[in-house]
């Protein structure tokens, strides 16, 4: 069943996850190119990934830093940092997502919330020294917990950006969003935990995002000014400032299906055990135990009384379908809690 540890794994063991200090644990996760990172808000997001071929430079001081020629990430380990591990179902199939939300109290996480394009001056704290004279422009997305900026030293690109200062990026008569693939300045996203920089070009409307660091700006979602997807169980007095997208056992970095990797599954279950909500972990274990003992799904129905608890049951059943597809009664449980 799900509770059994893997026999052998190249990933973090349950003991390592349980005992490593936060800085060491985050450093291990940062060095692993099977994991990804993101910073931004719902609808306006920057992502950082790397491969072994990228020759990433990693520093593990008070600031955790990883940099390639495609992008870079720097995180400050502030005292109030809280890690929240979660699993959420996706759609009406066997899929789910998981990750770790790096959170701060709402008041400590607040950023500038500028609503129009604003010039901020030179980026004197950029991760690479050669960019510290480049000019930063806040794109005015007014996210509560992130500042979405661009950066350039190119005089033509800077002139084009400056011509829209004081305007909203999503104004119906503002062509800047349409012009961004042609301009392709660096994107620099700030939160109270640090910054994420993206150097690769912005794809055009008919192009795919490049492999590695890239950004997504979806106006209809960004206008909602939400910090994160509402399905992620973050308490209302906390907010997401960055995310770790831990290697998934059933899909690759591009979201495509792959052969189920038991070591990756158990690595995340160990992270969930340390950083998940105890009541949700308890519910997951109760579901596994009930199915193992061939109990009826109705036995736990009274406990599954919130959207987050329903999500936990769905994910648990989907994972069991990968691991224990012939478990007695699993079809009955799926029909009760995760009808397709």
pLDDT, tens only, 12-35: 988 999 999 999 999 999 999 999
Tokens of 200: 């690769």
- High-pLDDT (> 90) share of the chain, %: 79
Is it the case that residue 159 has pLDDT exceeding 90? yes
pTM: 0.93
**Candidate from 71-75, 238-242, 292-296, 325-329 with smallest mean pLDDT:** 325-329
Tokens of 333: 């449980």
Closest by Cα among 237, 239, 146, 143 to 191:
146
Tens of pLDDT, residues 81-103: 999 999 999 987 789 999 999 99
Report whether 26 contacts 74 (CB < 8 A).
no
The C-alpha atoms of residue 12 and residue 244 are separated, in whole angstroms, by: 15
**Candidate from 85-89, 117-121, 287-291 with smallest mean pLDDT:** 287-291
Tens of pLDDT, residues 194-227: 999 999 999 998 888 899 999 999 999 999 888 8
Tokens of 138: 């806040």
The C-alpha atoms of residue 306 and residue 308 are separated, in whole angstroms, by: 5
């Amino acid at each position: 069943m799900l509770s059994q540890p893997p026999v052998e794994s190249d990933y973090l063991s349950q003991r390592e996850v349980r005992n490593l200090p936060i800085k060491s644990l985050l450093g291990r996760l940062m060095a692993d190119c099977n994991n990804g990172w993101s910073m931004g808000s719902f609808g306006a997001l920057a992502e950082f990934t790397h491969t072994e071929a990228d020759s990433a430079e990693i520093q593990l001081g008070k600031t955790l830093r990883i940099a390639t020629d495609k992008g870079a990430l720097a995180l400050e380990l502030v005292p109030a940092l809280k890690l929240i591990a979660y699993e959420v179902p996706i759609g009406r199939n066997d899929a789910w997502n998981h990750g770790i939300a790096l959170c701060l109290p709402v008041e400590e996480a607040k950023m500038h919330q500028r609503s129009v394009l604003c010039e901020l001056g030179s980026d004197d704290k950029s991760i690479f020294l050669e960019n510290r004279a480049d000019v930063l422009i806040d794109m005015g997305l007014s996210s509560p917990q992130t500042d979405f900026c661009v950066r350039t030293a190119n005089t033509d690109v800077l002139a084009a950006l400056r011509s829209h200062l004081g305007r909203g990026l999503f104004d119906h008569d503002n062509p800047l969003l349409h012009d961004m693939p042609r301009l392709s300045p660096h994107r620099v996203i700030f939160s109270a935990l640090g910054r994420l920089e993206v150097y690769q070009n912005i794809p055009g409307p008919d192009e795919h995002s490049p492999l590695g660091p890239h950004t997504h700006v979806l106006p209809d979602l960004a206008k909602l000014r939400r910090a994160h997807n509402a399905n992620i169980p973050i308490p209302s007095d906390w907010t997401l400032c960055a995310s770790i997208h831990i290697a998934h056992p059933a899909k690759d970095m591009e979201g495509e299906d792959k052969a189920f990797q038991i070591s990756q599954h158990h690595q995340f279950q160990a992270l969930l055990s340390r950083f998940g909500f105890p009541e949700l972990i308890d519910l997951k274990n109760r579901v596994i135990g009930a199915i193992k003992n061939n109990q009826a799904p109705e036995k736990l129905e009274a406990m599954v009384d919130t959207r987050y608890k329903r999500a936990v049951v769905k994910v648990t059943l989907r994972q069991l379908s990968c691991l224990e597809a012939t478990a007695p009664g699993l079809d009955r449980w799926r029909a009760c809690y995760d009808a397709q």
